[in-house]
Amino acid sequence: MSRPKVTVVGAGNVGATTAQYIVERELADVVLTDVVDGLPQGKALDLLQAGPVHGYDCRVTGANDYEATAGSDIIVITAGLARKPGMSRDDLLMKNAEIVGGVVAETTRRSPTAILIVVTNPLDAMAQLAFRRSGFPKQRVIGMAGVLDSARFRTFIAQELDVSVENVTAFVLGGHGDTMVPLPRYSTVAGIPITELLSKERLEALVKRTANGGAEIVGLLKTGSAYYAPAASVVDMVEAILKDKKKVLPCTAYLEGEYGLKGLFVGVPVKLGRRGVEQILQITLAPDEAAALGRSAAAVRELTDKLGI
């Protein structure tokens, strides 16, 4: 049986780390592409040479063009510019739209049955752009943000209560960024809602830190943005798809009436399997949660309107 094939576009921090985690878990052969001459080839060769030490046989190929990407099962798009300190995700909008649009055209032509996982910011708008440009069915275009945002929330909850991260599940909805909507009443420690374990004030502080999670790391790194947790989050999605796990994860998906939203990519709980987004799970929101989701969707809509998509 041949291994699945995953193309990772963009051999920067998130892209290269994604490639690394995929082969370390022996999930697929990886093709890594980038516009910078030698960068994807060098990182691919380096990763290949870690294989004997780690004990993986997955092939890793680097390229500056798209020929080697043909017939991919999944295409992960990380190409673009990352945020610098003081720069919002939205500042990236126009530049990254141009990059992602080009990447989608080149890759989908060669892998017409692939599933697209979009990572480039501003995430929700880039997912929508990829959906429109690819002409793919909505099940096969997914944005990564919720897994990361909920991982951050889980980290802070586990730290605060001094419990294992494995005991903590967290639920976030909405767009990636300042308007995301963490849902504490659906976030639990071994099944116990965290609203039972944390004071309102502490909870608010953790929610705030989660929403600001990306900026906190940008502020520390100064020359780039987070990549270990983002790459781990992408690979969780890749694994759920390739292994047809039917795993429920918060992902950015195209809504057609779910949660009262139409024609827009927003973060919601989805079931991920070999066909991509196999189901969108709907829950009843409290009025304040619905209002927060509405505000988040409006922020996404502002960007998609700017792009005319």
Among 69, 107, 121, 155, binds ligand TXD (CB under 6 A): 121
Decide whether 83 or 301 has the Cβ nearer to ligand TXD.
83
Give the interface segment with ligand TXD, choosing from 12-20, 183-191, 203-211, 275-283 (CB under 6 A): 12-20
Of the residues 4, 175, 184, 230, which one makes contact with ligand TXD according to CB under 6 A: 230
Q: How many CB atoms lie within 10 A of CB 268?
A: 24
CB closer to ligand TXD out of 21 and 198:
21
Residue from the set 5, 7, 8, 9 that interacts with ligand TXD by CB under 6 A: 9
CB of 214 to ligand TXD, least distance (A): 7
Determine if 133 is a binding residue for ligand TXD (CB under 6 A): no
Residue 125: CB minimum distance to ligand TXD, A: 11
What residue type is 95 in one-letter code? K
Structure tokens at 35: 């516009």
Q: Which of 47, 103, 115, 270 binds ligand TXD (CB under 6 A)?
A: 103
Helix axes 200-211, 213-221, angle to 10 degrees: 60
Residues 137-176 that bind ligand TXD (CB under 6 A): 144-145, 148, 176
Least distance in Å: CB of 137 to ligand TXD? 22
19 binds ligand TXD (CB under 6 A): no
List the one residue from 34, 73, 236, 289 that touches ligand TXD (CB under 6 A).
Answer: 34
Q: Does 10 bind ligand TXD (CB under 6 A)?
A: yes
Position among 4, 12, 213, 273 found at the interface with ligand TXD (CB under 6 A): 12
Beta strands in the chain (DSSP E): 5-9, 29-33, 60-63, 74-77, 115-118, 141-143, 168-169, 172-173, 181-182, 188-189, 192-193, 247-256, 262-273, 276-280
Residue 78 binding ligand TXD, by CB under 6 A: yes
Per the rule left: phi > 0, alpha: psi between -120 and 50, beta: everything else, 222 is left
Catalytic residue among 43, 89, 133, 176: 176
| CA end-to-end distance (rounded Å), the chain | 40
The question of whether 176 is a catalytic residue gets the answer yes
Report how far residue 291's alpha carbon sits from residue 293's, in angstroms, rounded to the nearest whole number: 5
CA dist 33 and 11 (Å) reads 6
Question: CA-to-CA distance for 253 and 270, rounded, in angstroms?
Answer: 8
In this structure, the number of other CB atoms found within 10 A of the CB of residue 51 comes to 16
- Rounded Cα gap, residues 289 and 268, in angstroms: 13
Q: Which residue is nearest to ligand TXD (CB)?
A: 12
Cα–Cα distance list, 121 to 51, 221, 237, 241, 269 (Å): 31, 18, 17, 22, 20
Quick check: 7 binds ligand TXD (CB under 6 A)?
Answer: no
Check residue 107 for interaction with ligand TXD (CB under 6 A). Answer: no
* Contact residues for 52 (Cβ-Cβ < 8 A; gap 6+): none
Task: Determine, following the binding rule CB under 6 A, whether residue 226 of this chain makes contact with ligand TXD.
Answer: yes
User: Catalytic residues, which ones?
Assistant: 176
Q: State the residues that interact with ligand TXD by CB under 6 A.
A: 9-15, 33-36, 78-83, 92, 96, 99, 102-103, 119-121, 123, 144-145, 148, 176, 224-227, 230
